[in-house]
């Protein structure tokens, strides 16, 4: 007796079901976008292609700059301009701007993220406890205890008042730090990831990025203006049909140079102006649409101390170094001064009152305890108030020196705002 082809042998149904389940699981797994990306990034050939794609904008920038240099020097200066002094002047100015532009661009490309202190990284055992926590609240409580135990200088929170924690890096995020999905690490004062520099714009290279934009604007418009007269002559020759074939071909390169210069000049000017505005408000690009959260709530102006302070934080305290692509950025990328933007800014932090250069229009700035040491080390504030106990003692001594009850009452009324901030 023969067995039909359609007849199933014992156990075949179970085997067939197992194969279907495995294929279904594989389909779901391979259909997962994250899984596909991980497979690509773990393949050497794919990684070479990805790295080339990331570096291609940088190569393109140098290619455009190289061709523009050839067109400006050899076609315009040596081929069109006859006046020697004018030629020397154009070449000299171009090289000064070009050196500053390339210097700041390379600094933006190759400057690495600042070193994040080890205490922000959770030990292996603590990180495992976070991973294996039964609930999200339990994991957040573990992180909270770790922050308090190590006294980490952190002001920002998540919307549920939990500390910001990066699961990929297994670390508590410092203030203004965010994880870059392209660089695969947390970046100090993360602004954005710029494909044109194949790097993040961040605390350590933000000054170089601004100089790259600024010198790029000046360089582009200098080339456009110095080449403008040649373009006018070329247009007249075209309209009168008096140009030779060779001169027309040469002039077309200068026309394209003019177009490239104006196009990139306007683009860089818009981006440069936007970042000047951000610096004046002491915000990053990310913070401009994702407002930082504190214990007292959100505050888009939390880091906006003053115009001078905001620019000094990026470019440094010495104005002479503002225009040179050298490291002069203030601070360490971890701790930032912040304003008192409410009646209870630091309800969970010990606050101190800092008064700098007391004048008729002086303002009282409240900072938390983790900022006090930074202020003392930097010398930004001449008189930093003591803790609550010392400040209360000073308040009592001052009131005792007043003679009348009316004077004491006026003093208390004028001081109540400062005492409430604490």
Q: What is the tens place of the pLDDT at every residue in 27-62?
A: 444 445 556 666 665 677 777 888 888 999 999 999
pLDDT along the chain (422 residues), means of 10: 45 46 44 59 74 92 97 93 93 98 98 92 94 93 95 93 94 96 94 96 97 98 94 80 58 91 97 97 94 90 93 93 93 86 35 33 38 43 39 45 46 38 34
Judgement on whether residues 333 and 216 belong to the same structural domain of the protein: no
Strand partners, 187: 178
Q: Is position 194 annotated as part of the catalytic site?
A: yes
Write down the pLDDT at residue 320.
87
CA separation (Å) from 31 to 34, 37, 42, 335?
9, 11, 17, 42
Does residue 348 lie in a domain region?
Answer: yes
Does residue 270 lie in a domain region?
Answer: yes
Write down the pLDDT at residue 33.
56
The residue behind tokens 């602004």 is 191
> How many domains, the chain?
3
Q: For residues 157 and 103, what is the distance between their CA atoms, to the nearest angstrom?
A: 37
Contacts for 315 with CB less than 8 Å, ≥ 6 apart: 207, 210, 321, 322, 328, 329
pLDDT tens digits, one per residue of 107-121 = 999 999 888 999 999
Does residue 415 lie in a domain region?
Answer: no
Does residue 224 lie in a domain region?
Answer: yes
CA separation (Å) from 292 to 189, 223, 227, 265, 330?
12, 41, 46, 33, 21
User: CA 391, 396, 397, 402 torsion: positive or negative?
Assistant: positive
Two structure tokens written together for 85:
């002094």
Among 201, 234, 259, the domain boundary falls at: 201
Judgement on whether residues 106 and 208 belong to the same structural domain of the protein: yes
Does residue 50 lie in a domain region?
Answer: no
Q: 285-294, long-range: CB within 8 Å, 24+ apart, which pairs?
A: 285/191, 285/192, 285/201, 286/178, 286/190, 286/191, 286/192, 287/176, 292/156, 292/175, 292/176, 293/156, 293/157, 293/158, 293/159, 294/155, 294/156, 294/157, 294/338, 294/345
The length of the chain, given as a count of residues:
422
Write down the pLDDT at residue 345.
37
Residue 77, Cβ neighbours under 10 Å: how many? Answer: 18
Q: For residues 70 and 64, what is the distance between their CA atoms, to the nearest angstrom?
A: 10
Write down the pLDDT at residue 32.
58
Judgement on whether residues 343 and 226 belong to the same structural domain of the protein: no
Does residue 53 lie in a domain region?
Answer: no
Judgement on whether residues 197 and 209 belong to the same structural domain of the protein: no
Does residue 6 lie in a domain region?
Answer: no
Average pLDDT, the chain: 77
Judgement on whether residues 237 and 90 belong to the same structural domain of the protein: yes
Judgement on whether residues 144 and 98 belong to the same structural domain of the protein: no
Judgement on whether residues 190 and 228 belong to the same structural domain of the protein: no
Which entry of 77, 194, 200, 421 is annotated as an active-site residue? 194
Judgement on whether residues 212 and 155 belong to the same structural domain of the protein: no
Judgement on whether residues 99 and 231 belong to the same structural domain of the protein: yes
Strand partners, 192: 201
The structure's pTM equals 0.71
Domain extent, residue 216, equals: 59-114+204-286
Judgement on whether residues 108 and 171 belong to the same structural domain of the protein: no
Say if residue 309 is exposed, middle or buried (CB neighbours under 10 Å; 0-12, 13-18, 19+): middle
Judgement on whether residues 99 and 245 belong to the same structural domain of the protein: yes
């Amino acid at each position: 007796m023969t067995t039909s082809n359609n007849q199933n042998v014992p156990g075949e149904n179970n085997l067939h079901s197992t194969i279907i389940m495995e294929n279904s699981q594989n389909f779901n797994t391979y259909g997962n976008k994250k899984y596909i990306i991980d497979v690509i990034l773990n393949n050497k050939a794919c990684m070479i292609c990805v790295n080339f794609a990331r570096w291609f904008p940088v190569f393109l920038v140098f290619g455009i700059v190289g061709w523009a240099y050839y067109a400006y020097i050899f076609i315009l200066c040596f081929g069109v301009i006859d006046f020697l002094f004018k030629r020397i002047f154009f070449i000299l100015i171009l090289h000064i701007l070009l050196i500053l532009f390339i210097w700041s661009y390379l600094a933006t490309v190759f400057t690495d993220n600042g070193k994040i202190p080890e205490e922000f990284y959770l030990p292996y055992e603590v990180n495992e406890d976070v991973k294996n926590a039964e609930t999200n609240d339990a994991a957040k409580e573990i992180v909270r205890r770790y922050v308090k135990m190590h006294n980490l200088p952190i002001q920002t929170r998540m919307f549920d008042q939990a500390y910001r924690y990066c699961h990929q890096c297994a670390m508590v995020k410092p203030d203004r730090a965010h994880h870059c999905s392209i660089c695969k690490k947390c970046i100090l004062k993360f602004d954005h990831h710029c494909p044109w520099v194949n790097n993040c714009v961040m605390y350590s290279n933000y000054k170089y990025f601004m100089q790259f934009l600024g010198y790029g604007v000046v360089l582009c418009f200098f080339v456009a203006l110095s080449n403008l007269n040649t373009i006018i002559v070329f247009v007249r020759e075209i309209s009168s049909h008096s140009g030779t074939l060779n001169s027309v071909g040469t002039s077309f390169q200068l026309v394209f140079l003019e177009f490239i210069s104006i196009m990139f000049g306007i683009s860089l000017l818009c981006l440069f102006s936007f970042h000047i505005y951000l610096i004046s408000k002491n915000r990053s690009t990310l913070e401009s649409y994702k407002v930082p959260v504190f214990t007292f709530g959100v505050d888009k102006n939390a880091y906006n101390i003053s115009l001078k302070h905001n620019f000094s934080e990026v470019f440094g305290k010495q104005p002479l170094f503002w225009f040179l692509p050298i490291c002069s950025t203030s601070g360490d990328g971890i701790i930032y001064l912040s304003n008192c933007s409410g009646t209870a800014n630091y309800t969970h932090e010990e606050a101190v009152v800092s008064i700098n250069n007391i004048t008729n229009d002086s303002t009282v700035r409240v900072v938390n305890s983790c900022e006090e040491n930074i202020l003392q080390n930097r010398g930004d504030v001449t008189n930093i108030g003591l803790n609550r106990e010392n400040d209360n003692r000073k308040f009592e001594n001052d009131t005792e020196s007043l003679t009348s009850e009316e004077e004491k009452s006026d003093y208390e009324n004028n001081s109540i705002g400062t005492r409430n901030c604490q």
